[in-house]
Every structure is written in C-alpha cells, then in structure tokens.
Structure 1
Amino acid sequence: MAGTIAFTVNGEACAVAGDPDDALLGTLRDTLGLKSTRLGCGLGQCGACTVLLDDRAVTACDTPLSAVEGKQVTTLEGLGSRDAPHPLQTAFIDEQALQCGWCTSGMLMRAAELLRREPHPDEAAVRQALERNLCRCGVHNRIVRAVLKASA
C-alpha cells in the first residue's frame, strides 16, 4: 500500500510517496535524483549501494523505504562537496583509490561509518570494516591506505 514516507536526506527534510516495501535505492536515485548511490548486485552483498542510516552503514538496495521513516539518510552527496570535500574524499583522490568508480561511494560511506565509530583505526580494523564492500578493479590496498590517511 502506497503512502508518504518522511525522512531527512543529506540534512534536508523530504517526504516521498511510495510503497513502504520499495527499496531505498530506487527512491534515492529515481525520485530524489541522488545518483552517487549505485546498484551493484541488488542483494545487499556487494556494498555498492551503501548509505548511512542514522550514522550506520546499510545497503540501500535491500533497505525498505519504511525503515527510513523519521530517520537521517546520508549519501555521498551529503558527505562532502567539491568546495569542502570530506577528508576521506581527499584521501581517496590522493591515494588514487579509484578505478572504475562503481564501488567508490559505497566504500566511502562504509569508511565514514568506521571513522565516526573509531577515529583512528588500525589497518586490520579498516579491512574488517570494508570486508562487505567489493571492488572488482582490485584497488583494495589503495582504499585501505586512503582510509588510514584520512584517519590521521
């Protein structure tokens, strides 16, 4: 049954009409035009669609719209900007931790959750936090270096 779901996305209040069982990913991309969140596997297994839901990393492809009612959603668009990039964004560029870019927003969001919880993680903690996010281009080591650099 369709209804209106009210939540905050990237600091802005919004209300969207939709089926509460619809995936958050479609609402972010198609209704709100926030294209940084990517569809990878569609099963919550690759991490490409990771966003923050009340500062907790979740996969948007399998998070129902009903789960965000009254909550705060942060996408890559809300993490930083061109004029004021998040330290993670700067570190990813500095470490060339990008290849095709498909996994990047999910990696950044999962890393942001880690750094909020643990501002100075060691390499093992970074690897464990990013374990659910897949990069098919093989830049995992650069991504880990970037997260460690951002935490410094």
Structure 2
Amino acid sequence: MSTFASRDRPTWLVATAAAALVAVALLLLASAAPASAHHYDHLLAPETACGGERQANTSETSSELEAVMRCMHSHARAKTGRRALSDNSLLVRSSDAKSADMLRCGQFSHRACGRSTLYHVHRVGYTPGGCWGAAENIAWGRATSGACARS
C-alpha cells in the first residue's frame, strides 16, 4: 500500500488518479488485464486512433484522459466482440467516493481507509443480481494514457 501526503500531491496526480478511477468505474464488469500483456498487443488501439497524439500527452485534463482511456478500452472490447463501454451513474459515484477516500486517508490503495475494494460499489447500490464479478484497476505515476494501456 502506498501513501502520499497532500502537500506532495501535484494537480496532475489528482487528475490522473481521478481519471483512472472513473475508467475503473466504467470497467468494473470488464476483465482485468493479464500479467503477460504482450500477448494481447493486438487488442491495443493504434496510435492513430483514440485521439492520436493525445495518447502520449501528459498534460491532459482528467476528462480528456478519461475519454482517451474509454476509447482504448472500447477498441479492445470491439476486437473481442464486446460492446463499447457506457456510462453508469452509480459506478461514477462509486469511483468518485473511492477517490475521495484515497485523498482523505492519504493512501493509494485498493483498500484505502481500511475499506474493501468493493465497499463503495455496494454502498451506492450497484450490485447486480445473480452471478457477477468486478475488478478495479488503479494507476499512479507519470505515464500517459497510451503507456498505461500498453503496460
């Protein structure tokens, strides 16, 4: 578990973390990326797609980062015959609350503030009936949207 102090947290880090968590909210029902990602390079959007040079831009706003990541994930889903991602207000609320927890507790962690990974998913009322699964992907660093998708 990583910790960070609010005085050391640059604006780009907050924007990147927020964008990553929004993307997570959109992907909760998608499969988690395997450890051997190079076997799945064929699923990656070409650099000419999804905003082109925006994939390599480190100065994007959180909403711009979210749009690039959504496009890249939707591209991979289309390659495997799945439908594109769509917004879900409950998952957005869940990811916003998770972001707030990480900032409040100063912990960049799946279990920020000692809560389970799916704490906010359940709290906002997003728990589909029947059999379901969820995953959470969070990233922290100076990587671009394209680099995150390719790692």
TM-score, normalised with respect to structure 2: 0.31
TM-score, normalised with respect to structure 1: 0.30
Higher relative contact order (CA 8 A, sep 6+): 2
Higher strand share: 1
Higher helix share: 2
